[in-house]
Amino acid sequence: MFKQNQFLGGIFLGALLVLGSLLGLSYTSPKVMPPIYELPQLVRPPKLGSSFSFAGENIPMNVDTRERLERELLLNAYHHTSTVLALKNANRYFPMIERILREEGIPEDFKFLAVAESNLTNATSSSGAKGLWQFMKGTAGDYGLEVNTEVEERFHYEKSTRAAAKFIKMLKNKTGSWINAAAAYNMGLAALNKSLEAQDERSFFDVNLNEETSRYIFRIVALKEIMCNPEGFGYYVDEDQKYGPHKGLNEVEVVAPIENLSELAHKYGISYRLLKYYNPWLIDTKLTGKDKKYVLLIPETK
């Protein structure tokens, strides 16, 4: 009986295959998952070139620096979600960042510092640093950013970028090099100077620092390499998949206190959510600062 059923089943399957062939269909056997530890992927370390630079300053390539750079290239090249989002965000924010850096006399490579800091988002760290450039509250105030219960200008993309450029310029004047300035941006000027003096060194590459700062410059350079040649690292983001610059925005000047931002949003035909989306530095439901002038970005409505 069993053999008979097998025989009839074989005839039935054969008939289905013939019918499928006549109808232009094809049969594909299901794919079998590979055994454990035989994963269907290609993972290879990057091949490092002979020279790398940041902000016009060369990175000395020796066994130590090559391994530190390779580590950051590996980590960021295979950190897929974060890297794809950075590539998408760069299309929106890099033009603004490049313009302000140029106006302030800062090398364009410092735009990759913002990627290292926040992945081009208004992030908040566990230590309380906020925004695109991850300013601490005290430093933000020193460079003209307003921070209170209603206004958080560390979340203002243009104002925070202008403040960061001025801060970086100061660090360069104090440390003597752009690379040292970037290191000081991460660990603090006083801490960097203390380490340099204690070890009788002058360059970031010759001083032994905490792990985070020791990796920091190499992370920025790795991000620069990946984002300047994404396809070389296997990233393909079509132009229409990138986040475009915000267009069709009107500037609305506010001089009188606003008790209800929702009412203001509805007055201009947009939702409260959209008002906050285009003005992320508004962190309360009201804006009541006296004798102050603010400029809000309001999208055009049809």
| pLDDT for 35 | 65
d(C-alpha 131, C-alpha 283), whole Å: 13
| Under 8 Å between Cβ of 73 and 222 | yes
| pLDDT for 38 | 67
| Under 8 Å between Cβ of 297 and 251 | yes
- Classify residue 3 as left (phi > 0), alpha (psi -120 to 50) or beta: alpha
List 258's β-bridge partners, or say none.
Answer: 287
| pLDDT for 293 | 92
Averaged in consecutive runs of 10 residues, what is the pLDDT profile of the chain (302 residues)? 47 47 45 62 79 95 95 93 96 98 98 98 95 97 96 98 98 97 97 97 96 97 96 93 94 93 96 97 93 93 76
Task: Decide: residue 279, CB within 10 A, 0-12 exposed, 13-18 middle, 19+ buried.
Answer: buried
| pLDDT for 48 | 83
| pLDDT for 34 | 60
| Under 8 Å between Cβ of 52 and 46 | no
Output the six-digit token pair for 236: 């393909």
| pLDDT for 20 | 47
| pLDDT for 32 | 60
| pLDDT for 198 | 98
Residue (of 67, 49, 47) closest to 58 by Cα position: 49
> Where does 78-110 have alpha helices with state H?
80-103
| Under 8 Å between Cβ of 300 and 250 | yes
Output the six-digit token pair for 258: 């606003």
| pLDDT for 289 | 83
Which residue's structure tokens are 């053999």? 3
List 295's β-bridge partners, or say none.
Answer: 253
